[in-house]
Amino acid sequence: MSLGHMGVLYSLLVLLGVSLLAPGLSGMLRVNIGRTWLIADEADARSHLRGLNAMMAAIGMLALWACWDLERSRMLVLGLGLVMLVVVISRLYSILVDGPPGTASVTYLGIEAVLGGVFLFWPPPPLV
C-alpha cells in the first residue's frame, strides 16, 4: 500500500472515529438526555436514545481500531464503508420523503458519501 493510500485511509478513519466517538460517548453519558426535546419522556425512550449514542460511539471506536493495524483491517474498513453507504441511503430517502434539509445535513451527506466511497472502493489491499 502506498504512503498516499495509507495517509488518506488513516486521516479518514481518524476523522470518522473522533467525530462519532466524542458525541456518542457524550450523549450516552449525559444525565438529562432528551429531557427538553424527547416526545416520550420515559425511561424506555431515554434508554433507546442512549443505545443509539452507544452504537455511534462503538462505530467510532471501530474506525480508530482499524488504524491500529491498517494493513490487516481490510474487512473492517469495508464494513465501515457499508455503514456509511446505509447512512447515505437513509439521508437521501429522508430528502425524498421529508424535503430538503439544512446546510449541515447536506454537508454531512457529502462527507458520509466520500467516506463510504473511499472505504468501499479503496480499502487496504488484501494480504497476499
pTM (whole model) above 0.85: yes
CB 49 within 8 A of CB 17: no
Residue that the C-alpha cell 449541515 belongs to: 104
Domain count, the chain: 1
- Residue 19, in any domain of the structure: yes
- Residue 36, in any domain of the structure: yes
Q: What's the distance, CA 7 to chain centroid?
A: 19
For residue range 66-105, what is the model confidence (pLDDT) as tens digits? 999 999 999 999 999 999 999 999 999 999 999 999 999 9
Q: Sort residue 34 into left (φ over 0), alpha (ψ -120 to 50) or beta.
A: left
For residue range 70-81, what is the model confidence (pLDDT) as tens digits? 999 999 999 999
Q: Identify residue 94 by its one-letter amino acid code.
A: S
Domain region containing 71 = 3-121
Q: What are phi and psi of 73, to 5 degrees?
A: -105, 25
CB 97 within 8 A of CB 73: no
- Residue 23, in any domain of the structure: yes
